[in-house]
Structure 1
């Protein structure tokens, strides 16, 4: 076994750090932090709580980036000193400690590197995610609920604010659909790689003969619209229906018609919302989600036109993107990136960061190749 090259490992870490610092532009981040601090200090900031929340959240994210960059640079210098000390004293324990620290630094640098790859138009925004059960009957509805729990647990593990906006429960078990919002910087950049068809293979707990069942669920991820997006939705293009909210098995039925269903007539897009107690609040939330979906639709149409002009129309990469196999073996595998793990329970408990990071790297490479083809 080759001897561990401490000098090379530290040089590699420093080179990666410098590359990340250049990509993130530390001077720009510092200037942005100063500007946000000034906005956060304005006396009337909290007169508009929604705007204030955006400013403070963005400030926290930028300050966190700067802190991590500064910490990484300091840790690289410190571990270099630690290696010198260990080698001078021929202290195996100190050298092992240094090696562990180098590996820890590299992992943190990989996490920061992911930030540099989220350079899409809407990647910085919060995300609105909708999960729908597909083929597979009650197993599919149960699978959709498993995915909902998985993403909510992922948000909790990362300290992201999550809010379930609408849930349609299936009759026997699970859910027909659910929509939730993740409020965090780059939530859309992260979760957009989760969009597509997810497949579950297992022994069905709902089959008294214990047969293996394959079921499907669709995950849709859109960026949260902002006031500057200018998505105009005339009243003549929508139909608004109101109804009583309800929970699983008819529990928690609201006696007022507070739930709202908005149908966008030109596209057939339907959005339901029942989380808020007020019909007005539910209508506003439903309109925001509708506008988010129309924003993505507009972007997809623009991208399709560009590809047609280039004479290269490809199928969407999002379909059939991940398989969760619980029988006859344990494996979760992303079919685009090839990343896989046998820790299926950990995945369903929200441990999906490695899948997301692999997806972001894969997407960045797809974008790079597409840009190179356009230049040719």
Structure 2
């Protein structure tokens, strides 16, 4: 890489960083950090645990964003000096190290730039995810469990908290469905692009003849409900509430009482269950919160569909098949909307899905611009 190329690349990266900082409103971020630090230092903060968690979570996020921006400035200064030293000393190994660092900076910049695209009304929120097995028997159930693990691993890698509300285990292997919350800044903005039908193609572990099997799983993502959301109380005659004994792995007391709660919204057929707490009342409260979030999301989707119909929109449906995971006869995970793909199937199952999320966010943004 010539000095001219390096100078041009650095100028482009610095211009991009300046644009990102303008979109993120750096002065406002710094002010917010000071305000949150003051709030976090209040002696009475933890009298309201939920509010305290929001304050500390947001503070951690803002601090991390500012640190990331400062580090990028420092890294760009350092890599410029590294290229100059490599050229002056005619050192190929130093030049290779500088080139690798420049590529790493560009990757970090791309990830940061994607964050500026998360400007939707609910993108900043936590989210609730549901993974359901579809056609494909035991392989589909096993695949659904792999997807749940994939999202939990991704959340762990990004320091997002997760809370599992309900798991329905399949008889032979895997799960029929699971509902869990992902809590962290922009959790919904990042993971909303995962909504849709996922397909796996592999040699079945559950077929005596070892034949190739196709299985499907559906992923649903809704933004978490907040106190500012306007949603009417649901009349009791529209709800069927069933209590039952929790199933599957759990603590010593989890399977001995009828603490699990299943709520069915009769007009829509939506069903929500929760069994993660020992208390029936706690499970009922959590299930009602998830149900309201899903009803609110359904209302939003219906309103959006009406607008799209008026506009003559032909954008892809989130419910359509959107990603394939091929384990045989070759290794490939491919997003059918964005064409982003990787041969590292194991890495994807281990939560390495940032490339898919970034491509999905950019794809969604381009679709919104074209509507």
Where does residue 223 of structure 2 map in the other structure? 223
Q: Secondary structure at the match of 1:229?
A: coil
Q: C-alpha distance in 1, partners of 2:4/2:195?
A: 41
Q: Secondary structure at the match of 1:327?
A: coil
- 1:10-21 pair list within 5 angstroms: 10-21=10-21
- Post-superposition offset of 1:82: 2.8
Q: C-alpha distance in 2, partners of 1:190/1:182?
A: 11
Distance 1:46 1:88, change over 3 A: same
- 1:193-272 pair list within 5 angstroms: 193-234=193-234, 235-247=236-248, 254-272=255-273
Q: Is the contact made by 1:128 and 1:224 (CA closer than 8 Å) also made in structure 2?
A: yes
1:5 aligned onto 2:5: yes
- Post-superposition offset of 1:85: 3.2
Where does residue 296 of structure 1 map in the other structure? 297
**Structure 1 unmatched ranges of 5 or more:** 371-376
- Post-superposition offset of 1:73: 1.4
**Structure 2 unmatched ranges of 5 or more:** none
Where does residue 182 of structure 2 map in the other structure? 182
Distance 1:76 1:318, change over 3 A: farther
Point out the more displaced range, 230-239 or 67-76.
230-239
Where does residue 332 of structure 1 map in the other structure? 333
> What TM-score do the two structures reach when normalised by structure 2?
0.94
Where does residue 82 of structure 2 map in the other structure? 82
Where does residue 104 of structure 1 map in the other structure? 104
The superposition leaves residues 38-66 of structure 1 with CA deviations (integer Å, 9 ceiling, x where unpaired) of 22222221111011001110011011111
Distance 1:315 1:67, change over 3 A: closer
- Post-superposition offset of 1:313: 5.4
- Post-superposition offset of 1:318: 4.0
Q: C-alpha distance in 1, partners of 2:97/2:2?
A: 18
Q: What's the RMSD between the two structures over aligned residues?
A: 2.0
Q: Is the contact made by 1:247 and 1:253 (CA closer than 8 Å) also made in structure 2?
A: no
Where does residue 368 of structure 2 map in the other structure? 367
- Post-superposition offset of 1:312: 3.1
Where does residue 157 of structure 2 map in the other structure? 157
Q: Is the contact made by 1:201 and 1:326 (CA closer than 8 Å) also made in structure 2?
A: yes
> What TM-score do the two structures reach when normalised by structure 1?
0.93
Distance 1:92 1:62, change over 3 A: same
Q: C-alpha distance in 1, partners of 2:230/2:45?
A: 24
Where does residue 373 of structure 1 map in the other structure? none
Q: Is the contact made by 1:246 and 1:252 (CA closer than 8 Å) also made in structure 2?
A: no
Q: Secondary structure at the match of 1:305?
A: helix
